[in-house]
Structure 1
Amino acid sequence: MLFLAGDKNLIEIIIASLLNHNIALVYILGMCSLIAISNNVKNAFWMGVAVVFVVTLTGIINYPIYQLLVKTGTTNLALLVFIITIAATVQFLEMFLQKFMPALYNAFGIFLPLITVNCVVLAVSLFFVTKDYDFKETAAFSFGSGLGWMLAIVLLAGIREKLAKKSDIPRGLAGKGIAFVILGILALAFIGFTGIASL
Protein backbone atom coordinates (compact mmCIF):
# COMPACT_ATOMS: atom_id res chain seq x y z
CA MET A 1 0.00 0.00 0.00
CA LEU A 2 1.08 3.53 -0.65
CA PHE A 3 1.58 5.97 2.21
CA LEU A 4 2.38 9.63 1.92
CA ALA A 5 3.82 11.51 4.90
CA GLY A 6 2.24 9.04 7.31
CA ASP A 7 -1.23 9.49 5.78
CA LYS A 8 -3.06 6.98 3.64
CA ASN A 9 -2.83 7.88 0.01
CA LEU A 10 -5.97 9.82 -0.89
CA ILE A 11 -6.06 8.30 -4.39
CA GLU A 12 -6.03 4.84 -2.82
CA ILE A 13 -8.98 5.75 -0.59
CA ILE A 14 -10.97 6.99 -3.60
CA ILE A 15 -10.14 3.87 -5.65
CA ALA A 16 -11.09 1.59 -2.75
CA SER A 17 -14.37 3.50 -2.30
CA LEU A 18 -15.13 3.09 -6.00
CA LEU A 19 -14.24 -0.58 -6.38
CA ASN A 20 -13.63 -3.07 -3.59
CA HIS A 21 -15.36 -1.00 -0.90
CA ASN A 22 -18.20 0.26 -3.13
CA ILE A 23 -20.89 1.42 -0.75
CA ALA A 24 -23.73 0.14 -2.94
CA LEU A 25 -22.33 -3.06 -4.41
CA VAL A 26 -20.16 -4.33 -1.52
CA TYR A 27 -21.82 -2.84 1.57
CA ILE A 28 -25.31 -3.04 -0.05
CA LEU A 29 -26.42 0.41 1.15
CA GLY A 30 -28.76 2.86 -0.55
CA MET A 31 -30.78 0.25 -2.44
CA CYS A 32 -34.21 1.95 -2.42
CA SER A 33 -33.28 4.94 -4.57
CA LEU A 34 -30.71 2.88 -6.51
CA ILE A 35 -33.41 0.53 -7.80
CA ALA A 36 -36.17 3.12 -8.17
CA ILE A 37 -34.22 5.65 -10.27
CA SER A 38 -32.15 3.18 -12.30
CA ASN A 39 -34.60 2.63 -15.18
CA ASN A 40 -33.15 5.57 -17.16
CA VAL A 41 -29.43 6.37 -17.57
CA LYS A 42 -29.94 10.14 -17.69
CA ASN A 43 -31.96 10.25 -14.46
CA ALA A 44 -29.57 7.75 -12.85
CA PHE A 45 -26.59 9.94 -13.75
CA TRP A 46 -28.14 13.09 -12.28
CA MET A 47 -29.29 11.25 -9.17
CA GLY A 48 -25.71 10.03 -8.84
CA VAL A 49 -24.43 13.60 -9.15
CA ALA A 50 -26.88 14.68 -6.43
CA VAL A 51 -25.71 11.87 -4.13
CA VAL A 52 -22.02 12.67 -4.78
CA PHE A 53 -22.69 16.31 -3.91
CA VAL A 54 -24.67 15.51 -0.74
CA VAL A 55 -22.34 12.75 0.50
CA THR A 56 -19.18 14.82 -0.09
CA LEU A 57 -20.58 18.01 1.40
CA THR A 58 -22.07 16.33 4.48
CA GLY A 59 -18.86 14.39 5.11
CA ILE A 60 -16.83 17.62 4.93
CA ILE A 61 -19.29 19.47 7.18
CA ASN A 62 -19.72 16.63 9.67
CA TYR A 63 -15.98 16.11 10.22
CA PRO A 64 -15.28 19.40 12.06
CA ILE A 65 -18.60 19.10 13.88
CA TYR A 66 -17.58 15.67 15.15
CA GLN A 67 -14.17 17.00 16.24
CA LEU A 68 -15.97 19.71 18.23
CA LEU A 69 -18.22 17.07 19.83
CA VAL A 70 -15.12 15.05 20.78
CA LYS A 71 -13.58 18.10 22.46
CA THR A 72 -16.75 18.84 24.42
CA GLY A 73 -17.30 15.18 25.33
CA THR A 74 -20.71 15.01 23.66
CA THR A 75 -20.03 12.42 20.95
CA ASN A 76 -23.31 10.70 21.83
CA LEU A 77 -25.02 13.58 19.98
CA ALA A 78 -23.09 12.84 16.77
CA LEU A 79 -25.83 10.76 15.15
CA LEU A 80 -28.45 13.46 15.70
CA VAL A 81 -26.14 16.22 14.46
CA PHE A 82 -25.19 14.19 11.37
CA ILE A 83 -28.85 13.67 10.50
CA ILE A 84 -29.61 17.39 10.87
CA THR A 85 -26.64 18.30 8.62
CA ILE A 86 -27.77 15.77 6.00
CA ALA A 87 -31.35 17.06 6.05
CA ALA A 88 -30.20 20.68 5.65
CA THR A 89 -27.88 19.80 2.75
CA VAL A 90 -30.58 17.86 0.92
CA GLN A 91 -33.07 20.69 1.48
CA PHE A 92 -30.60 23.12 -0.07
CA LEU A 93 -30.09 20.81 -3.07
CA GLU A 94 -33.84 20.36 -3.49
CA MET A 95 -34.46 24.13 -3.52
CA PHE A 96 -31.58 24.65 -5.98
CA LEU A 97 -32.89 22.02 -8.42
CA GLN A 98 -36.48 23.23 -8.14
CA LYS A 99 -35.38 26.76 -9.05
CA PHE A 100 -32.71 26.09 -11.70
CA MET A 101 -33.45 22.57 -13.05
CA PRO A 102 -37.20 21.98 -12.70
CA ALA A 103 -37.33 19.13 -15.25
CA LEU A 104 -34.69 17.20 -13.33
CA TYR A 105 -36.40 18.07 -10.04
CA ASN A 106 -39.67 16.62 -11.37
CA ALA A 107 -37.92 13.51 -12.73
CA PHE A 108 -36.51 12.71 -9.29
CA GLY A 109 -39.94 13.03 -7.70
CA ILE A 110 -40.08 11.78 -4.13
CA PHE A 111 -36.60 10.25 -4.33
CA LEU A 112 -34.75 13.57 -4.06
CA PRO A 113 -35.97 14.34 -0.53
CA LEU A 114 -35.44 10.66 0.28
CA ILE A 115 -31.67 11.24 -0.05
CA THR A 116 -32.08 12.57 3.49
CA VAL A 117 -32.88 9.09 4.73
CA ASN A 118 -30.63 7.29 2.24
CA CYS A 119 -28.40 5.23 4.48
CA VAL A 120 -25.39 5.88 2.20
CA VAL A 121 -25.19 9.49 3.31
CA LEU A 122 -25.33 8.69 7.02
CA ALA A 123 -23.08 5.62 6.64
CA VAL A 124 -20.25 7.70 5.17
CA SER A 125 -20.31 10.04 8.18
CA LEU A 126 -20.36 7.09 10.56
CA PHE A 127 -17.58 5.29 8.65
CA PHE A 128 -15.14 8.20 8.87
CA VAL A 129 -15.66 8.18 12.64
CA THR A 130 -14.99 4.45 12.99
CA LYS A 131 -12.01 4.57 10.60
CA ASP A 132 -10.49 7.56 12.47
CA TYR A 133 -9.82 9.54 9.28
CA ASP A 134 -8.37 13.04 9.24
CA PHE A 135 -10.08 15.82 7.27
CA LYS A 136 -8.41 15.10 3.90
CA GLU A 137 -9.09 11.37 4.20
CA THR A 138 -12.70 12.08 5.15
CA ALA A 139 -13.15 14.31 2.09
CA ALA A 140 -11.55 11.67 -0.19
CA PHE A 141 -13.61 8.86 1.34
CA SER A 142 -16.85 10.87 1.08
CA PHE A 143 -16.20 11.82 -2.54
CA GLY A 144 -15.13 8.28 -3.47
CA SER A 145 -18.17 6.72 -1.77
CA GLY A 146 -20.50 9.10 -3.60
CA LEU A 147 -18.76 8.27 -6.90
CA GLY A 148 -19.03 4.57 -6.10
CA TRP A 149 -22.77 4.84 -5.57
CA MET A 150 -23.06 6.88 -8.78
CA LEU A 151 -21.07 4.23 -10.69
CA ALA A 152 -23.41 1.53 -9.39
CA ILE A 153 -26.62 3.33 -10.36
CA VAL A 154 -25.35 4.29 -13.84
CA LEU A 155 -24.14 0.73 -14.53
CA LEU A 156 -27.46 -0.68 -13.35
CA ALA A 157 -29.46 1.83 -15.41
CA GLY A 158 -27.41 1.15 -18.55
CA ILE A 159 -27.87 -2.60 -18.27
CA ARG A 160 -31.60 -2.23 -17.55
CA GLU A 161 -32.06 0.04 -20.57
CA LYS A 162 -30.26 -2.42 -22.86
CA LEU A 163 -32.25 -5.36 -21.50
CA ALA A 164 -35.54 -3.51 -21.96
CA LYS A 165 -34.76 -2.88 -25.65
CA LYS A 166 -33.09 -6.12 -26.70
CA SER A 167 -34.32 -9.02 -24.61
CA ASP A 168 -37.45 -10.84 -23.63
CA ILE A 169 -37.36 -10.77 -19.83
CA PRO A 170 -39.71 -13.27 -18.15
CA ARG A 171 -42.75 -11.55 -16.66
CA GLY A 172 -41.81 -12.54 -13.11
CA LEU A 173 -38.43 -10.80 -13.43
CA ALA A 174 -39.57 -7.68 -15.28
CA GLY A 175 -38.97 -4.32 -13.62
CA LYS A 176 -37.43 -4.42 -10.16
CA GLY A 177 -36.91 -8.19 -10.22
CA ILE A 178 -34.31 -8.02 -12.96
CA ALA A 179 -32.68 -5.06 -11.17
CA PHE A 180 -32.00 -7.30 -8.16
CA VAL A 181 -30.49 -9.99 -10.38
CA ILE A 182 -28.26 -7.42 -12.12
CA LEU A 183 -27.19 -5.97 -8.74
CA GLY A 184 -26.25 -9.44 -7.52
CA ILE A 185 -24.06 -10.04 -10.57
CA LEU A 186 -22.49 -6.57 -10.28
CA ALA A 187 -21.83 -7.15 -6.56
CA LEU A 188 -20.01 -10.41 -7.36
CA ALA A 189 -17.95 -8.60 -9.99
CA PHE A 190 -16.99 -5.79 -7.61
CA ILE A 191 -16.04 -8.22 -4.84
CA GLY A 192 -13.48 -9.46 -7.36
CA PHE A 193 -11.62 -6.18 -6.83
CA THR A 194 -10.85 -7.19 -3.22
CA GLY A 195 -7.27 -6.42 -2.36
CA ILE A 196 -6.75 -3.77 -5.06
CA ALA A 197 -6.74 -0.99 -2.45
CA SER A 198 -7.66 -0.69 1.19
CA LEU A 199 -9.44 1.77 3.40
Structure 2
Amino acid sequence: MRLFFSSGSPFARAVRVALRETGLAPRVEEVETALRDPRSTLLPHNPVGRVPTLVLPDGTALTETALILPFLDTLGVAYPLLPAGDLRARAEFGRVLGMLDGMAVWNRELRRPPEERSPGVIALETARTSRVADALEAEVAAGAWALDGPPDAARITLGCLLGYAERRHRAWPWREGRPALAAWFDRLAARPAFAATVPPLSGL
Protein backbone atom coordinates (compact mmCIF):
# COMPACT_ATOMS: atom_id res chain seq x y z
CA MET A 1 0.00 0.00 0.00
CA ARG A 2 1.04 3.59 -0.60
CA LEU A 3 -0.08 6.68 1.26
CA PHE A 4 0.14 9.95 -0.64
CA PHE A 5 0.45 12.91 1.71
CA SER A 6 1.46 16.53 2.05
CA SER A 7 3.55 17.35 5.11
CA GLY A 8 1.45 20.44 5.82
CA SER A 9 -1.93 18.67 5.77
CA PRO A 10 -3.43 17.86 9.18
CA PHE A 11 -5.81 15.43 7.48
CA ALA A 12 -2.90 13.44 6.05
CA ARG A 13 -0.95 13.74 9.28
CA ALA A 14 -3.76 12.05 11.17
CA VAL A 15 -3.38 8.98 8.95
CA ARG A 16 0.41 9.02 9.27
CA VAL A 17 0.16 9.20 13.06
CA ALA A 18 -2.42 6.39 13.07
CA LEU A 19 -0.15 4.15 11.01
CA ARG A 20 2.64 4.60 13.54
CA GLU A 21 0.45 4.22 16.60
CA THR A 22 -1.23 1.03 15.38
CA GLY A 23 1.91 -0.67 14.07
CA LEU A 24 0.88 -0.52 10.41
CA ALA A 25 3.60 1.87 9.26
CA PRO A 26 5.94 -0.88 7.94
CA ARG A 27 3.18 -2.05 5.60
CA VAL A 28 2.61 1.33 3.96
CA GLU A 29 4.97 3.34 1.76
CA GLU A 30 4.55 7.06 2.37
CA VAL A 31 4.85 9.25 -0.72
CA GLU A 32 4.96 13.01 -0.30
CA THR A 33 3.24 14.79 -3.16
CA ALA A 34 2.48 18.30 -4.34
CA LEU A 35 -1.04 19.68 -4.16
CA ARG A 36 -2.79 21.88 -6.75
CA ASP A 37 -0.11 20.93 -9.27
CA PRO A 38 -1.04 19.42 -12.66
CA ARG A 39 2.19 17.40 -12.48
CA SER A 40 1.40 15.93 -9.05
CA THR A 41 2.47 12.31 -8.65
CA LEU A 42 -0.90 11.65 -7.04
CA LEU A 43 -3.08 12.45 -10.05
CA PRO A 44 -2.48 9.19 -11.98
CA HIS A 45 -3.83 7.32 -8.95
CA ASN A 46 -6.52 9.75 -7.84
CA PRO A 47 -7.78 12.49 -10.18
CA VAL A 48 -9.35 14.27 -7.20
CA GLY A 49 -5.81 15.23 -6.22
CA ARG A 50 -6.47 15.39 -2.47
CA VAL A 51 -4.56 14.00 0.46
CA PRO A 52 -4.54 11.72 2.24
CA THR A 53 -4.97 9.10 -0.45
CA LEU A 54 -4.27 5.46 0.39
CA VAL A 55 -3.67 3.33 -2.70
CA LEU A 56 -4.40 -0.35 -2.10
CA PRO A 57 -2.53 -3.22 -3.82
CA ASP A 58 -5.34 -3.61 -6.39
CA GLY A 59 -5.15 0.09 -7.31
CA THR A 60 -8.19 1.21 -5.35
CA ALA A 61 -7.59 4.73 -4.03
CA LEU A 62 -9.22 5.68 -0.74
CA THR A 63 -9.48 9.41 -0.18
CA GLU A 64 -10.32 11.33 3.00
CA THR A 65 -9.32 10.75 6.60
CA ALA A 66 -12.89 9.82 7.51
CA LEU A 67 -12.68 6.79 5.19
CA ILE A 68 -9.07 5.77 5.68
CA LEU A 69 -8.95 5.59 9.48
CA PRO A 70 -11.92 3.18 9.75
CA PHE A 71 -10.40 1.11 6.93
CA LEU A 72 -7.17 0.71 8.88
CA ASP A 73 -9.15 -1.11 11.57
CA THR A 74 -9.78 -3.91 9.05
CA LEU A 75 -6.06 -4.59 8.62
CA GLY A 76 -5.30 -6.20 11.97
CA VAL A 77 -4.19 -3.14 13.90
CA ALA A 78 -2.65 -3.28 17.38
CA TYR A 79 -5.80 -1.61 18.73
CA PRO A 80 -8.97 -0.22 17.10
CA LEU A 81 -9.06 3.43 16.11
CA LEU A 82 -12.86 3.36 16.06
CA PRO A 83 -14.05 0.47 18.25
CA ALA A 84 -17.04 -1.36 16.81
CA GLY A 85 -20.29 -0.20 18.34
CA ASP A 86 -18.71 2.71 20.21
CA LEU A 87 -20.98 5.59 19.20
CA ARG A 88 -19.22 8.02 21.53
CA ALA A 89 -15.92 7.43 19.73
CA ARG A 90 -17.60 8.09 16.40
CA ALA A 91 -19.36 11.19 17.70
CA GLU A 92 -16.06 12.59 18.98
CA PHE A 93 -14.33 11.78 15.70
CA GLY A 94 -17.07 13.46 13.67
CA ARG A 95 -16.99 16.57 15.82
CA VAL A 96 -13.24 16.96 15.47
CA LEU A 97 -13.45 16.42 11.70
CA GLY A 98 -16.08 19.15 11.49
CA MET A 99 -13.88 21.48 13.50
CA LEU A 100 -10.90 20.69 11.26
CA ASP A 101 -12.95 21.28 8.10
CA GLY A 102 -13.94 24.71 9.40
CA MET A 103 -10.39 25.62 10.31
CA ALA A 104 -9.18 24.54 6.86
CA VAL A 105 -11.74 26.84 5.21
CA TRP A 106 -10.65 29.68 7.50
CA ASN A 107 -6.98 29.05 6.69
CA ARG A 108 -7.58 28.98 2.93
CA GLU A 109 -9.45 32.25 3.19
CA LEU A 110 -6.51 33.88 4.97
CA ARG A 111 -4.18 32.72 2.20
CA ARG A 112 -6.11 34.69 -0.40
CA PRO A 113 -5.08 38.24 -1.30
CA PRO A 114 -6.72 40.62 1.21
CA GLU A 115 -9.11 42.03 -1.38
CA GLU A 116 -10.42 38.52 -2.19
CA ARG A 117 -11.10 37.41 1.38
CA SER A 118 -14.62 37.01 2.70
CA PRO A 119 -15.00 38.62 6.15
CA GLY A 120 -18.23 36.69 6.62
CA VAL A 121 -16.57 33.31 6.01
CA ILE A 122 -13.67 34.19 8.30
CA ALA A 123 -16.04 35.30 11.06
CA LEU A 124 -18.16 32.16 10.72
CA GLU A 125 -15.25 29.73 10.83
CA THR A 126 -13.47 31.64 13.60
CA ALA A 127 -16.60 31.39 15.72
CA ARG A 128 -17.17 27.72 14.89
CA THR A 129 -13.61 26.66 15.64
CA SER A 130 -13.43 28.65 18.88
CA ARG A 131 -16.83 27.36 20.01
CA VAL A 132 -15.74 23.74 19.65
CA ALA A 133 -12.41 24.47 21.33
CA ASP A 134 -14.22 26.02 24.29
CA ALA A 135 -16.39 22.92 24.61
CA LEU A 136 -13.30 20.72 24.47
CA GLU A 137 -11.60 22.82 27.15
CA ALA A 138 -14.54 22.25 29.48
CA GLU A 139 -14.63 18.53 28.74
CA VAL A 140 -10.89 18.01 29.22
CA ALA A 141 -10.96 20.03 32.44
CA ALA A 142 -13.77 17.76 33.67
CA GLY A 143 -11.72 14.63 32.99
CA ALA A 144 -12.90 13.64 29.53
CA TRP A 145 -10.63 12.86 26.56
CA ALA A 146 -8.35 10.72 28.72
CA LEU A 147 -4.93 9.78 27.38
CA ASP A 148 -4.43 6.67 29.49
CA GLY A 149 -3.87 4.42 26.50
CA PRO A 150 -2.97 4.74 22.82
CA PRO A 151 -5.00 7.46 21.06
CA ASP A 152 -8.08 6.63 19.05
CA ALA A 153 -9.17 8.32 15.81
CA ALA A 154 -10.71 11.34 17.56
CA ARG A 155 -7.69 11.99 19.77
CA ILE A 156 -5.25 11.57 16.91
CA THR A 157 -7.22 13.95 14.71
CA LEU A 158 -7.63 16.53 17.47
CA GLY A 159 -3.91 16.38 18.18
CA CYS A 160 -3.20 16.98 14.49
CA LEU A 161 -5.69 19.86 14.41
CA LEU A 162 -4.06 21.62 17.35
CA GLY A 163 -0.63 20.88 15.92
CA TYR A 164 -1.74 22.51 12.68
CA ALA A 165 -2.87 25.57 14.66
CA GLU A 166 0.55 25.66 16.35
CA ARG A 167 2.53 25.53 13.12
CA ARG A 168 0.32 26.52 10.17
CA HIS A 169 -2.63 28.51 11.48
CA ARG A 170 -1.07 30.73 14.11
CA ALA A 171 -3.62 33.46 13.42
CA TRP A 172 -5.74 31.57 15.96
CA PRO A 173 -4.28 31.85 19.50
CA TRP A 174 -6.03 28.67 20.60
CA ARG A 175 -4.10 28.27 23.87
CA GLU A 176 -5.44 31.52 25.33
CA GLY A 177 -8.00 30.73 28.02
CA ARG A 178 -7.72 26.98 27.45
CA PRO A 179 -5.07 25.67 29.87
CA ALA A 180 -6.55 22.18 30.19
CA LEU A 181 -6.67 21.67 26.42
CA ALA A 182 -3.14 23.07 26.05
CA ALA A 183 -1.76 20.66 28.65
CA TRP A 184 -3.65 17.80 27.00
CA PHE A 185 -2.14 18.65 23.63
CA ASP A 186 1.40 18.97 25.01
CA ARG A 187 1.16 15.49 26.49
CA LEU A 188 -0.14 13.99 23.23
CA ALA A 189 2.39 15.87 21.08
CA ALA A 190 5.24 14.24 22.99
CA ARG A 191 4.32 10.78 21.68
CA PRO A 192 6.83 9.48 19.08
CA ALA A 193 4.19 9.22 16.33
CA PHE A 194 3.39 12.91 16.67
CA ALA A 195 7.01 14.00 17.10
CA ALA A 196 7.92 12.18 13.86
CA THR A 197 5.26 13.97 11.79
CA VAL A 198 5.47 17.62 12.90
CA PRO A 199 4.34 19.86 9.99
CA PRO A 200 6.59 22.58 8.61
CA LEU A 201 6.16 26.10 9.93
CA SER A 202 3.97 28.41 7.87
CA GLY A 203 3.90 32.17 7.57
CA LEU A 204 0.33 32.41 8.81
TM-score normalized by structure 2? 0.28
More helix by proportion, 1 or 2?
A: 1
Which has more radius of gyration? 1
Pick 1 or 2: higher relative contact order, CA cutoff 8 A, min separation 6.
1
TM-score normalized by structure 1? 0.28
More strand by proportion, 1 or 2?
A: 2
